[in-house]
């Protein structure tokens, strides 16, 4: 845990901090300038930055957007802190831009001056900029290490570390504080406490980020005069919780837990959480259960492929660390291991994964696969392969083959053999129609999910009979289409046993409640309307509105005042709009729906005869903005060429015969529904291969137009790998907001076929079986990664939750879940170059 005042500036007196509201004012222009400064302000070593909660910062942004700067409350960090007897502490595992934001000192001081602090000791969170891997970063969580003497825990010291400190620095400072400076190094051992387990520390010139989270307990063990150790004596050495090896020289990075010795299953081995490393454990467990790759490492055949001179790799260090890890996991002797060497190696070559912040399992796996590929690249000297513009003149299959050969000339490894496939990319210039086709390799299919449903739209459904109306509140995404909403309403009606027939037309009424300006909504357009002056209605119609003409009916007084909601009808074939259609189909509906009683009774109440019914209204049809009198005979009203809709106006003499305009009393049920229940994995792939138009920022240079254009782009599957990894893009990111899409996805388990999605008609017919899943549970920032995988040796599924492993039932086929984040599929009947057949893989892994 990290105390809030841990990094307060030494020259800032806490007594001087302004509490509550200040007396100064800030203009909207100045506030917007301060917000811009947050993004542009440089990070300088030893400068102060301040942590503010996302909850409070969102109020600042909203006030700036609305222009009400006086609505901003005092700075409030209650959502990211907690109080104990020792003071206020920053909550663990907070994520920047999700839970908190960082403000440079001038911005924070100005906002504090104007708006004050809600609570001084809690809301003033100052942090220093330090150097980490040669780059300046704000150290939100200063590393506090408590060092105890193993034989006497009442003797301890508290050390504050930075990312530049080494373990030698930690040792020397701890020994000085504990009065042990004179003890020879060989008579000292340092252990990290994992609960009641101990892990021996390798004291070498290593960055403390390798070992320590934000708060850690370390024990110093001093060798006894009889050359025994306190932690390694009989009391601890035989303990089922002992993590210690026998000596520093024989130290293993994968100190093993012996608590279930003799009961461990090969491959069913947990990975100790080193501090927010569940994302790494999840990714590595998925990779460990790829039989062909694991056998390649277990047989040590990878050693001959190590490419130490490849500047794009890790000089073989990642390959060796991963190989050693697999040996421990698949030995059958360990039920859990500590993957510190893998983490250390990854952090050394990819600094974004150093430290102990929560990360993304897919990003980690992507780095590991790329790192292993470069470490094991059989091409020792990569030849220069120039872009060949003549390839686009070839037939697609020949172009694809030559593109793959060019890629393989520089990239040839077990990772390429197993995991890499090929995509076809088609770009079309919107100006000159120039078509550019490229074939590119891929390692992952990162497929999109529909946006998270976060808006609500009210739609009132009007039936074409005497049935009462239904008011739907549809929870949906901004991109949900009108057709999606129509399908949702139909499904809802059918689920409750309604015999719903016909079609639905959706339209908006705008510019005030009594307006009758109507706009028909296209089924393909988004249905969400932000304008509060518009309402959405839907009419049940008798015919398909895409193939039949549409008539909008309006009821008005002679002065043009609206008497009822506009209504929508479809014309029967042959699409003739006649007076008889209005009398037979429309007028009875108006009478039954909007009038106080039947039309006949209304006419009698107003001293009119039924035979004089027509005298109670005049009929007009709209021609542009002009009202044209309707023919007195039954001759059809012509539809202008290309016009699909006509508007007809009933102009009534007696307005008293109508009920209230809105017809609220006609609604007898309100239904809340979601526009999306679940999504099939194949639909995600459809979204991945859907044609899209490029944005301005990623426009394409058209060689024919000689300038950048917003081309259309389409991706297609061309060649599928033996191991297919699909990444479900559950996380949405924007400048100020991040969100998780937790829609359930329908996932095939066995026999998953993708041939229908292949643009390569010569591709062999393939089926895939699911062998591993990386799961993400919870929201951003506070979520947790686990994995489930099929063990090739036992044929059983196991769940991996950090160091815990348990056998589980095979997933139902198909499975439906909100937690799957990354899927690993294995092609049925797999054989590949340089690899033994499937049966031999099983035999070698069982040995």
Lowest mean pLDDT: which of 25-39, 189-203, 567-581?
189-203
Q: Kindly provide the residue ranges of all beta strands, DSSP E only, lying in 656-809, ordered along the sequence.
A: 667-674, 679-680, 692-693, 700-702, 707-709, 712-719, 723-729, 731-733, 738-740, 745-747, 752-753, 767-777, 784-790, 797-801, 804-808
Average pLDDT over residues 734-757: 83
Q: What is the pLDDT of residue 9?
A: 37
- State the pLDDT at residue 11: 37
Condensed to tens digits (0 to 9), the pLDDT of residues 749-801 reads 999 999 999 999 999 999 999 999 999 998 776 689 999 999 999 999 999 99
What average pLDDT does the chain have? Answer: 83
Q: Does 423 or 829 have the greater pLDDT score?
A: 423
Question: Sheet containing 421-428: which strands, arranged edge to edge?
Answer: 435-442, 421-428, 712-719, 692-693
Output the CA torsion 224→225→227→229 (10° steps): -10
pTM score, whole prediction? 0.63
pLDDT grade for 52, boundaries at 50, 70 and 90: very high
Percent of the chain clearing pLDDT 90 (strictly above): 47
Q: Are 639 and 571 spatial neighbours (Cβ–Cβ below 8 Å)?
A: no
- Closest C-alpha among 789, 715, 705 to residue 290: 789
Q: pLDDT by residue (tens digit) across 706-734?
A: 999 999 999 999 999 999 999 999 987 65
Instruction: Report the b/e string of 88-102 with b at 16+ CB within 10 A.
Output: bbbbebbbebbbbbb
Q: What are the CA-CA distances from residue 37 to residues 34, 40, 104 (Å)?
A: 5, 5, 8
pLDDT > 70: percent of the chain = 83
Return the pLDDT at 497: 57
Residue 20: CA atoms inside 13 Å, Cβ hemisphere, count? 1
Task: Compute the average pLDDT of residues 677-684.
Answer: 87
pLDDT per residue as tens digits for the range 204-243:
656 666 666 555 788 999 999 998 888 863 333 333 333 3
Task: Give the separation between CA 268 and CA 791, rounded to whole angstroms.
Answer: 8
- Residue 476's pLDDT is 77
pLDDT digits (tens, 9 = 90+) for 611-638: 455 678 999 998 888 889 999 888 888 7
Cα gap 520→534, rounded to integer Å? 13
Instruction: Identify whether the C-beta of residue 725 lies closer than 8 Å to the C-beta of residue 790.
Output: no
Which domains, and CATH codes, for the chain? 2-133 (3.30.2230.10), 143-237 (3.10.20.90), 271-448+696-847 (3.90.70.10), 455-674 (3.10.20.90)
- Res. 563: pLDDT tops 60: yes
Asked if residues 617 and 650 have their Cβ atoms less than 8 Å apart, the reply is: yes
Identify the three-state secondary structure at position 670.
Answer: strand
pLDDT of residue 14: 39
* pLDDT, position 439: 95
Q: Which comes out higher in pLDDT, residue 243 or 255? A: 255
Cis bond before residue 823 (omega within 30° of 0):
no
pLDDT in tens, 436-477: 999 999 999 999 987 766 678 889 999 877 778 888 888 877
pLDDT above 70 (res 487): yes
* Nearest in space to 334 (alpha carbons), one of 288, 293, 296: 288
pLDDT in tens, 526-553: 888 877 778 899 999 988 888 889 999 9
Backbone phi, then psi, for 782, in 5-degree steps? Answer: -105, 15
Per-residue pLDDT tens digits for 368-418: 999 999 999 999 999 988 888 788 888 999 999 999 999 999 999 999 999
Mean pLDDT is lowest, of 298-312, 502-516, 811-825, for 502-516
**What is the reported pLDDT for 517?**
79
- What is the predicted pLDDT for the residue at 114? 92
Has residue 245 got a pLDDT over 60? Answer: no
Q: How confident is the model at residue 598, as a pLDDT?
A: 59
CB atoms within 10 A of CB 149: 19
Closest CA to 132 of 346, 296, 351, 445: 351
**332 vs 8, residue with greater confidence:** 332
Q: Which two tokens stand for residue 415?
A: 């990772």
| Secondary-structure breakdown of the chain: helix, strand, coil percentages, each rounded to the nearest 5 | 30, 30, 40
pLDDT tens profile 633-666: 888 887 877 788 889 999 998 888 887 655 666 7
Q: Is the pLDDT of residue 840 over 80?
A: no
3-class secondary structure per residue, 350-376: CHHHCCCCCCCHHHHHHHHHHHHHHHC
Q: In what order do the strands lie in the sheet with 2-3?
A: 2-3, 87-90, 81-84
Is it the case that residue 257 has pLDDT exceeding 50?
no
Contact 608, 616 (CB under 8 A): yes
pLDDT for residue 736 is more than 90? no
CA separation for the pair 94, 781 (Å, rounded): 6
Compute the CA torsion angle 315, 316, 318, 324 (nearest 10 deg).
Answer: -150
Query: Is residue 32 predicted with pLDDT exceeding 50?
Result: yes
Kind of pairing, strands 617-623 and 645-652? antiparallel
In three-state form (DSSP H/G/I as H, E/B as E, the rest C), the secondary structure along 800-820 is EECCEEEEECCCCCCEEECCE
C-alpha 75/C-alpha 846 separation (Å) is: 61
Q: Tell me what pLDDT residue 235 has.
A: 38
Q: Give the total residue count for the chain.
A: 847
Residue 49: its H or E element? strand 48-53
């Amino acid at each position: 845990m990290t105390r809030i005042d841990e990094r307060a500036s030494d020259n800032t007196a806490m007594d001087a901090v302004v509490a509550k509201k200040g007396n100064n004012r800030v203009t909207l222009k100045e506030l917007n300038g301060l917000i811009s400064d947050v993004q542009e302000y440089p990070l300088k070593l030893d400068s102060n930055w301040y942590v503010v909660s996302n909850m409070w910062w969102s109020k600042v942004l909203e006030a700036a957007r609305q222009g009400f700067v006086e609505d901003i409350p005092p700075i409030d960090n209650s959502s990211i802190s907690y109080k104990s007897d020792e003071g206020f502490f920053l909550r663990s595992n907070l994520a920047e831009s999700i839970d908190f934001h960082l403000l440079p000192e001038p911005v924070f001081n100005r906002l504090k001056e104007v708006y004050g602090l809600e609570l001084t000791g809690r809301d003033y969170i100052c942090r220093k900029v330090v150097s980490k891997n040669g780059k300046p970063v704000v150290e939100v969580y200063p590393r506090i290490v408590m060092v105890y003497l193993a034989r006497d825990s009442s003797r301890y010291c508290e050390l504050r570390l930075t990312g530049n400190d080494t373990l030698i620095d930690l040792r020397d400072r701890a020994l000085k504080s504990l009065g042990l400076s004179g003890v020879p190094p060989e008579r000292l051992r340092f252990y990290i406490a994992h609960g009641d387990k101990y892990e021996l520390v390798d004291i070498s010139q290593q960055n403390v980020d390798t070992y320590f989270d934000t708060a850690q307990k370390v024990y110093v063990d001093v060798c006894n005069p009889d050359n025994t150790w306190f932690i390694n004596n009989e009391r601890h050495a035989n303990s089922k919780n002992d993590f210690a090896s026998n000596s520093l020289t024989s130290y293993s990075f994968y100190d093993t837990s012996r608590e279930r010795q003799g009961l461990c299953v090969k491959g069913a081995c947990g990975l100790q959480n080193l501090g927010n490393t569940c994302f790494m454990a999840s990714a590595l467990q998925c990779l460990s259960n790829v039989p062909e790759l694991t056998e390649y490492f277990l047989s040590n055949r990878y050693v001959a492929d190590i490419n130490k001179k490849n500047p794009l790799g890790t000089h073989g260090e990642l390959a060796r660390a991963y190989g050693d890890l697999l040996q421990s996991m698949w030995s059958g002797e360990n039920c859990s291991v500590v993957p510190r060497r893998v983490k250390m190696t990854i952090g050394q070559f990819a600094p974004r994964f150093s430290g102990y912040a929560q990360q993304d399992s897919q990003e980690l796996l992507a780095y590991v696969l790329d790192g292993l590929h470069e470490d094991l690249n059989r091409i020792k000297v990569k030849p220069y392969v120039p872009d060949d513009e003549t390839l686009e003149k070839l037939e697609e299959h020949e172009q694809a083959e030559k593109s793959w050969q060019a890629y393989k000339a520089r990239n040839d490894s077990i990772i390429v053999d197993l995991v890499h496939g090929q995509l076809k990319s088609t770009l079309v210039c919107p100006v000159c129609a120039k078509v550019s086709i490229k074939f590119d390799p891929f390692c992952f299919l990162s497929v999109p999910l529909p946006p998270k449903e976060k808006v609500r739209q009210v739609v009132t459904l009007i039936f074409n009979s005497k049935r009462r109306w239904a008011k739907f509140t549809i929870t949906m995404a901004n991109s949900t289409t009108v057709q999606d909403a129509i399908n949702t309403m139909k499904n809802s009606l059918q689920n409750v046993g309604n015999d719903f027939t016909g079609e639905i037309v959706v339209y908006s009424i705008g510019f005030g409640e009594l307006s009758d300006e109507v706009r028909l909504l296209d089924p393909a357009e988004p249905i969400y309307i932000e304008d509060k002056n518009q309402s959405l209605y839907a009419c049940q119609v008798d015919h398909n509105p895409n193939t039949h003409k549409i008539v909008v009916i309006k009821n008005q007084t002679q002065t043009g005042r609206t008497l009822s909601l506009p209504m929508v009808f479809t014309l029967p074939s042959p699409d003739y709009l006649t007076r008889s259609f209005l009398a037979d189909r429309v007028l009875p509906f108006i009478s039954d729906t909007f009038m106080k009683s039947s039309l006949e009774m209304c006419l009698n109440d107003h001293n009119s005869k039924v035979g004089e019914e027509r005298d109670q209204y005049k009929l007009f049809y709209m021609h542009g903005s002009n009202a044209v009198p309707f023919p007195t005979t039954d001759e059809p009203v012509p539809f202008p060429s290309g016009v699909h809709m006509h508007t007809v106006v009933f102009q009534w003499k007696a307005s008293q015969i109508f009920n209230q305009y809105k017809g609220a009393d006609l609604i007898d049920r309100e239904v809340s529904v979601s526009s999306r229940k679940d999504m099939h994995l194949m639909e995600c792939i459809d979204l991945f291969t859907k044609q899209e138009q490029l944005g301005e920022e990623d426009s394409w240079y058209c060689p024919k137009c000689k300038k950048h254009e917003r081309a259309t782009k389409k991706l297609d599957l061309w060649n599928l790998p033996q191991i297919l990894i699909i990444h479900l893009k559950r996380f949405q990111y924007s400048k100020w907001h991040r969100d998780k899409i937790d829609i359930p996805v329908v996932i095939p388990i066995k026999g998953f076929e993708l041939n229908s999605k292949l643009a390569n008609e010569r591709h062999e017919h393939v089926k895939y079986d699911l062998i591993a899943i990386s799961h993400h549970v919870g929201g951003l920032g506070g979520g947790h990664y686990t994995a489930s995988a099929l063990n090739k040796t036992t044929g059983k599924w196991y769940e991996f939750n950090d160091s815990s492993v348990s056998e589980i039932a095979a997933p139902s086929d198909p499975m439906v879940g909100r937690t799957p984040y990354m899927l690993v599929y294995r092609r049925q009947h797999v054989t590949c170059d340089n690899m033994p057949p499937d049966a031999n893989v099983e035999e070698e892994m069982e040995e």
